[in-house]
Amino acid sequence: MLFQLKPINLAEAKAFVKENHRHHPPMNRWKYGIGLIDISTDEAEPPLLGVVVAEPPRARMLNDGYTLELTRVCTVGARNACSILLGAACRTAEGLGYRRVITYTLPEEGGASLRAAGFVQDRHVKAQAWGRPSRPRQSTLSLDLGDKWRWVRHLNQKVRRST
């Protein structure tokens, strides 16, 4: 296989996630998305093999304007596709001026693709409801109430000064 990155829009990303993600529904928030196609085929329109979606962080205390959250990484199982998409999403975030990228995994997910893309496990996030006494809400997803691991990749923000 010969991979190539492809810009995608929200509708394309939602359709792909709806069809292929094993435990999350399509997202509603959006900053940008990147697709991955196989250009070694003879097809006029190469098939989409995976997507990554970036959004502002859902956690209010992490939404500082310099942090981006990757909320969906979804592939059809092509080797190294997740790592390629994660790396591309981080390079894009860095180009846009972000200082760090975060994402979450379920405890049973290993994180090999995240480590390959330069992420480190940041902390264990205990399950808790979104609602608070001062702001009651009900979660629509049962997965929102499960424990997760937060991963982080700090981005290099060196900028050359003109002389």
Amino acid at 46: P
What is the edge-to-edge ordering of all strands in the sheet holding 120-125? 3-7, 32-38, 48-55, 67-75, 100-105, 148-154, 120-125
Q: Give the angle subtended at the CA of 155 by the CAs of 69 and 148, to the nearest 5°.
A: 35
Express each pLDDT in 95-115 by its tens digit: 999 999 999 998 888 899 999
**Which tokens hold the place of 49?**
């093999």
Is the pTM above the cut of 0.95?
Answer: no
Average of per-residue pLDDT across 64-68:
96
Express each pLDDT in 123-156 by its tens digit: 888 876 666 678 777 665 544 568 899 999 999 8
Where are any strands of DSSP class E within the chain?
A: 3-7, 32-38, 48-55, 67-75, 100-105, 120-125, 148-154
**Rounded-to-integer distance, Cα 146 and Cα 143, Å:** 5
